[in-house]
Chain A
Amino acid sequence: MTAFWILAPLMVIAALGLVFAKKAVHGALCLAVVMISLAVLYAVQEAPFLFAVQIIVYTGAIMMLFLFVLMLVGVESNDSMRETIRGQRAAALVVTLLFGVLAVTGIAQTVTGTARGFGDEPNVEGLAALLFGPYVLAFELTSALLITAALAAMVLAHRERLSTRPTQATLSQQRMRDYAESGKHPGNPPTPGVFARHNAVDTPALLPDGTPMEESISASLVARGQRRSGPPPVEPIAPAGGTPTDDDVDEVSKQLEGGSTDD
């Protein structure tokens, strides 16, 4: 029971962490803690085969799948804590508490007396005799289920290309058209850190007028709130006599044409 009393509080804390974690990745790590602890509890409960399967299938395969999808979906998909149905969270809490009390007092008290245990019965051989004996039909059906699931995943994740792939020529024509219509710069945008104080990827490049260019850093960094603030925008240097006007231009051109007017 020592293992149980060490692991049970950890598991409950990790499960609560899964529910309350703001970032999905933290929740996934909490779930991994729960699953590995469960594997240890299986080993304690005379189930060495399930111990191995739990580690290999759950923490090895399923959690990795979750982490892969989290990486694909990206950091922008943070959970919004806004309630869309009014009072839903409170109602959910009440219902869950009621259900928890019912489950713990009802189902968890059904076992009385000491456990019978398995004695000397070998675990893996016994499971094999059951799987390939009375449960052989269910076992064969699971193989069909797994193949169907694999095919379904391939069909769902497959994406048909509906339009032809844009070539380099069409892309360049599109750039020129954008420049003609909206004035969008046709050239390469500056990479992060150009002319800025740091050349790190989280520092936006500075434009010729000293303002940071937000598009030069990755959108993921902006979503994560890891954009390093560039230097404050530099005020354009104003001439001494205020903003230049047409008169100033005329004066300067006169100076340039007629030489110096000071003497």
Chain B
Amino acid sequence: MTEYLTLSMVLFTIGAAGVLVRRNAIVVFMCIELMLNATNLAFVTFSRQHGTLDGQVAAFFVMVVAAAEVVVGLAIIVSIYRTRRTTSVDDASLLKL
């Protein structure tokens, strides 16, 4: 089972790197999805290791929350794109000092 957890952690790290490095808001969002998927893999692995289904229920709830998050996030990105004609996270900086 260590292999599955290692893969999960590697995918999570790659997703975190993408969030830090990329500028396009949609790509940043996809990297967050990658991190969520990686945690799901860890949940399923722990569930099988312990022989209880609670981990799979947790993974299911993560999927539901991710679906809601994607809907709202993409709507925000579309509305930002409408007003600023860009999806770069650097350009949406009106709140900074």
Question: Which residues of A, 127-150, contact B by the 8 Å Cβ criterion?
Answer: 127, 130-131, 135, 138, 142, 145-146, 148-150
The answer, among A12, A21, A35, for a CB contact under 8 Å with B10, is: A12
Contact of B44 among A42, A58, A73, A110 (CB under 8 A): A42
* A77 engages B30 (CB within 8 Å): no
Cβ–Cβ contact B11 & A47, under 8 A:
no
The answer to whether A18 touches B18, judged by C-beta atoms less than 8 angstroms apart, is yes
**B46 partner residues in chain A, CB cutoff 8 A:** 111
B82 nearest CB across to chain A (Å): 7
Please give, as numbers and ranges, the residues of chain B lying within 8 Å of A131 by CB-CB distance: 57, 60
Is the beta-carbon distance between A46 and B48 smaller than 8 angstroms? yes
A15 touches B57 (CB 8 A): no
- When distances are taken between beta carbons in the complex, the residues of chain A under 8 Å from B44 are 41-42, 45, 47, 50
Within 8 A of B (CB), among A33-56: 34-35, 38, 41-42, 45-47, 49-50, 53-54
Number of A-B residue pairs, CB cutoff 8 Å, is 227
> How many whole Å from B89's CB to the nearest CB in chain A?
10
Indicate if the CB atoms of B17 and A130 lie closer than 8 Å. no
Of the candidates A8, A15, A21, A27, the one whose C-beta lies within 8 Å of that of B3 is A8
In the assembled complex, which residues on chain B have CB atoms less than 8 Å from the CB atom of A135?
57, 61
Which residues in B have their C-beta under 8 angstroms from that of A153? Answer: 71-72, 74-75
Complex interface: chain A residues within 8 A of B53 (CB): 118, 121, 123, 126-127, 130
The contact string, 1 if C-beta is below 8 Å from chain A, for chain B 26-57, is: 11011101100100111011111111011011
The interface-forming segment of A90-98, A174-182, A204-212 is A90-98
A15-B34 contact given A24-B27, A118-B51, CB 8 Å threshold: yes
Flag if A103 contacts B45 (CB, 8 Å).
no
Least Cβ–Cβ distance between A118 and chain B, in angstroms: 6
Are A24 and B1 in contact, with the CB atoms below 8 A?
Answer: no
Q: In the complex the two chains form, is B27's CB within 8 Å of A27's CB?
A: yes
A18-B34, A35-B37 known; A138 and B67 CB under 8 Å?
no
Stretch from A60-68, A193-201, A239-247 contacting the other chain = A60-68
Contact of B72 among A11, A70, A152 (CB under 8 A): A152
Additional A-B contacts beyond A78-B24, A79-B24, A111-B46 (11; CB < 8 A): A1-B3, A11-B7, A34-B11, A34-B37, A47-B47, A50-B60, A79-B23, A127-B53, A131-B60, A149-B67, A153-B74
* 15 A-B interface contacts by CB (under 8 A): A11-B7, A15-B34, A28-B30, A38-B40, A46-B48, A73-B81, A78-B24, A103-B13, A111-B46, A126-B53, A127-B57, A131-B60, A135-B61, A153-B72, A153-B74
